[in-house]
Structure 1
Amino acid sequence: MFKKVTQSIAKQMDPKGEVIPVYSILDQEHFRLFCLVRRKGKTMFCPTPGYRRTEYSLYDVLLHEDDKVSAGALIPTEDVQDSSQVVFTHHVDGRVEGKLHLPVNSANTEVHGSTHWSKEGSIKLEKKYIPVAKFESLKTERKINMNHSFIEQLKKRQQNLYVVYESVEASEETSYEETNRTEGSFMAQLYAKFSTKGTRDCKQSITIPKGCIIAFRPMQLTIQDGSWGIYHFPEDNIQTFASDGFSCGKSEALEKEVKAKYQIFSKLSVDLCVIFLKSIKAVMRNRNLFQELTQKMEAVLDEPDNCDLKTESPDLKDLLYSLQDSPKGLLLKLAEAINYTLYALDELTEDQLLLLLESLEEKIVTQQLRLVKSILEHSIENTKGCFSVDASLLSFSQEKELKITTVMLEMSGVKIQKNGSAECELEAFSSLAALYASLYVLDLLNTLD
């Protein structure tokens, strides 16, 4: 729920994707000003990548002026400046709408939210930043401690490092409540079948404490022989890429990316396919298992020689045990493929995950994959969002199977009729790409099973 709130705020504040939402309330302390973060790999379905916490701030890895002892001092308050007022009003009545106002001379932000799922809340925020001039001054005064263990490990692995220079935080404690109620019985039946909740009608609430970081903006650091600087331009032109929308060649690039990521899965034995598929289905049903597997795979990719792959979960035990016994080269490739799968699944809604599980049981994933691929091949800009696909791809043996597919697509921004006519939202590519990657891996493992 915290992720939903922060994503909504970040998107309305900056549709271009430079303001990054904090996904976990437990990690928010690690995204404050001057905190050092690492970037997750970007994908076709998530062109603006997320960032991972570290345990350090920039001041933790700087030398004192005598260049001998690393600094652990608190961040000077004079380094932090308030930005202009941001007032965000969020109202949903069947569809999401938003307004953003930017008056001046204040740092208070107010966010209101309501949805047709009875999602309500009012969040007052404060936007703070570090002037770039402060970084320019600091880099001439203080060098990086190249003997710091964290810096040594990053240098050895040639990993990029980023520093938070802008943050959005709650200026007072706020409660946010969401009530979900299904109209009709279709999704309610799936929740009773696959979800540990056992019902579609549920109420969730979260208390966001004062000072909690909601979103942030990072800049990349450059380090050489103790000297450091700020890379002022987004790496790989992320801003332009994120706002491209549908463009020619994207579907081919996505297909190439997905095949490359999952090539290692095609080499698994039948027994391993069963184990992998079982674990993936388990994390689709249980968010706690999802987080546990994500943390395990990130640990493998960070330190394959020292990662702990033990678990108390029966649903993950066989998978992690098989990874533990794998040679290092194979382990890294498998962990990267699993991590890519988790990225894709995380871009889908909870309801879509349930529909995917039902699709597996109904054995219609292969046909859905072909349908989504066909949709991705169309350019929305050239067709004003309207197009047609081969109607045979919507020819399912049961009406229920068609309903599962059309509802799942609609959640990704595509409304499609039984005759093949379709209408696609302008910003649907990322969600459709994530759906394509998810269907691809489920189809691959299920076919090899």
Structure 2
Amino acid sequence: MFATATRNFVEEVDPDGGLIPVSSLKDSISVLSVVVKRKRFWLWQKPKYIPTDFKLNDLLTGDEPLTPGIAATEFIKYNGTYGGNIEGNLNANFGQSKVNTDVTVTGKDSSKLQSALGSLRKEELDVQKLLQDCKDRTLDMTHALVKQTKERQRQSFGIVKERITNTQLCSVIEDKQQSGQCGGGLSLCGPQNQKFSLKETGSLGNDSNVTMEIPVGTTLAYVLIELEIKHDGHFELMVMSGSSGGFEVDGPKRVELLVVSRAPPGTSVNEHLSLELEPINKHFQLLAALPPTSRSALLQHITKVMEDQGAVASLESLLEQMCQNRKPSLSEAATTDAQRENIQAIVGLLEDLSQAEEATSALKALHLLAGAMDEMTDDCLASLRSCCSPAVLPSLELLVRCVSGDGQVPLSSVDLPGDAYKRTERLFASSNVSLKRDGETLRTELKQQAGNLPLVLCIAVRGLASLAHTE
């Protein structure tokens, strides 16, 4: 709840800037706090920011602390309400020579998040004074935090130069309502045309209303200055917007990022997207090649994980640990018991794959899928989940191939009933892609400055569709 509220806040007030949302109430962040920035596996993934218990003064050599000025000003008054309704249904028929099964599933999700943060304040560091104070100062390269951060690839230090805090006791309220119905019929055809039928219906409801109070002075978001650190501990503050820091390395810098192709200047946005997808197509093929029972179970558990953005982030983090041959752990993950069971079930399915090579390939492919879902906005993820059924995913895959292709597809080739089309239209719109009917043709068009959202959409849909693949 808190992470969703701060993420929504940042998307509203500074969507393309350097403001970073705080993800946990446990994070104690103030001006001059040290934050570890960790680059991710894929270039389109946003970095992860890991707050520490230290301030810059704790890492410096010498006894004289830095004392730059801090200015506090009123920022804005913020209250927001987010959410909506999502409905869907699925009809399926599974027939064999003697057994026919009809299944109908309908569902409705309603969620609302109210963020009553009230009047907010901005604390900002005097950067000019900090630059002067940092001259000739060095970091203690034997400090445990410095040593451990330097040992890890793709990590760097940032110093909090600005933070946004609340000035009064405020609250975040989450109201969720989930309901569904399932109806099924089983027909057994025996000798002499004898037929036995069984029909069953059921319903499920789940409502929750949770209120979280946020203490006065809680940091909601912050801005960093990154440090470029030399071998001897001397460092430079990277004050220019967009500049990155890091540790000095011996020889050529080793790059471990799993990259996607970058199109040359002058290519169209569709061609650019196609080139970015080209080197990762193999991951979708690997998912489609998994045993049918494994694919079906994975799709089922992933769909449940998609109910909560925090659970998606936890799944992505766990799969990343496994990709790095680290022991996977969910001990610090902010997930419910039910979501932890879903995530553990996904890990168990990976471990159950008979061939080691098959398991490794599936792990990387699932990490790609989870990474894409983790980059989605809340609205985009909720819309995708509402379309996440074997009946709808093949048409979604056709449409995302259209996005990275010539931008159009015959309407007759897309099997989307009325409600599914509306949900698909919403999904594409939340990913900065317009979906329009033009006579007998469906057209897709990338919006101006669409960013990475269309790429993330294509990866997520194609990954899920690979799991829904039928022989």
Same fold (TM over 0.5): yes
User: What is residue 118 of structure 2 aligned with on the other side?
Assistant: 123
TM-aligned CA distance change 1:55 to 1:443, over 3 Å: same
| CA RMSD after TM alignment | 4.7
User: What is residue 190 of structure 2 aligned with on the other side?
Assistant: none
1:265 CA displacement: 4.4
Unaligned runs of 5+ in 2: 85-110, 183-202, 246-261, 263-267
User: What is residue 361 of structure 1 aligned with on the other side?
Assistant: 389
User: What is residue 52 of structure 1 aligned with on the other side?
Assistant: 49
Query: Could you say what secondary structure the match of 1:17 adopts?
Result: coil
User: What is residue 19 of structure 2 aligned with on the other side?
Assistant: 19
Query: Could you say what secondary structure the match of 1:343 adopts?
Result: helix
Identity among equivalent positions (%) equals 18
Q: Tell me the distance in 2 between the aligned counterparts of 1:228 and 1:152.
A: 15
1:390 aligns with 2:425: no
1:146 CA displacement: 2.2
1:81 CA displacement: 1.0
Number of residue pairs matched? Answer: 391
1:376 and 1:429 in contact (8 A); partners too: no
Q: Which amino acid aligns with 2:425?
A: T
User: What aligned pairs does 1:20-419 form with structure 2 within 5 A after superposition?
Assistant: 20-22=20-22, 24-30=23-29, 33-41=32-40, 49-59=46-56, 62-65=59-62, 78-82=67-71, 84-87=73-76, 119=114, 121-140=116-135, 142-163=137-158, 164-177=160-173, 198=205, 205-225=211-231, 226-233=233-240, 234-235=242-243, 247=269, 249-256=271-278, 258-259=280-281, 265=287, 272-274=294-296, 276-286=298-308, 289-300=311-322, 304-308=325-329, 313-321=340-348, 337-348=365-376, 353=381, 356-357=384-385, 359-375=387-403, 389-392=408-411, 395-396=414-415, 398-413=417-432, 414-417=434-437, 419=439
TM-aligned CA distance change 1:333 to 1:83, over 3 Å: farther
TM-aligned CA distance change 1:205 to 1:422, over 3 Å: farther
1:229 CA displacement: 1.9
Q: Tell me the distance in 2 between the aligned counterparts of 1:322 and 1:59.
A: 44
User: What is residue 98 of structure 1 aligned with on the other side?
Assistant: none
Q: Which amino acid aligns with 1:172?
A: Q
1:30 CA displacement: 4.9
Query: Could you say what secondary structure the match of 1:440 adopts?
Result: helix
Q: Tell me the distance in 2 between the aligned counterparts of 1:124 and 1:264.
A: 51
1:355 CA displacement: 5.0
1:28 and 1:214 in contact (8 A); partners too: no
TM-aligned CA distance change 1:376 to 1:202, over 3 Å: farther
Q: Tell me the distance in 1 between the aligned counterparts of 2:216 and 2:28.
A: 12
1:5-59 residue CA offsets vs partner (Å, 9 max, x unmatched)? 323432344343221222x23353257532222234386765xx24321434343
Q: Tell me the distance in 1 between the aligned counterparts of 2:135 and 2:30.
A: 24
1:11 and 1:17 in contact (8 A); partners too: no
User: What is residue 102 of structure 2 aligned with on the other side?
Assistant: none
2:21 and 2:222 in contact (8 A); partners too: yes
TM-aligned CA distance change 1:203 to 1:307, over 3 Å: closer
Q: Which amino acid aligns with 2:34?
A: C
1:345 CA displacement: 1.8
1:176 and 1:207 in contact (8 A); partners too: yes
1:170 CA displacement: 1.6
* TM-score, with structure 1 as normaliser: 0.68
Q: Which amino acid aligns with 1:148?
A: H
Query: Could you say what secondary structure the match of 2:155 adopts?
Result: coil
1:197 CA displacement: 9.2
* TM-score, with structure 2 as normaliser: 0.65
TM-aligned CA distance change 1:317 to 1:8, over 3 Å: closer
1:214 CA displacement: 1.3
Q: Tell me the distance in 2 between the aligned counterparts of 1:305 and 1:360.
A: 31
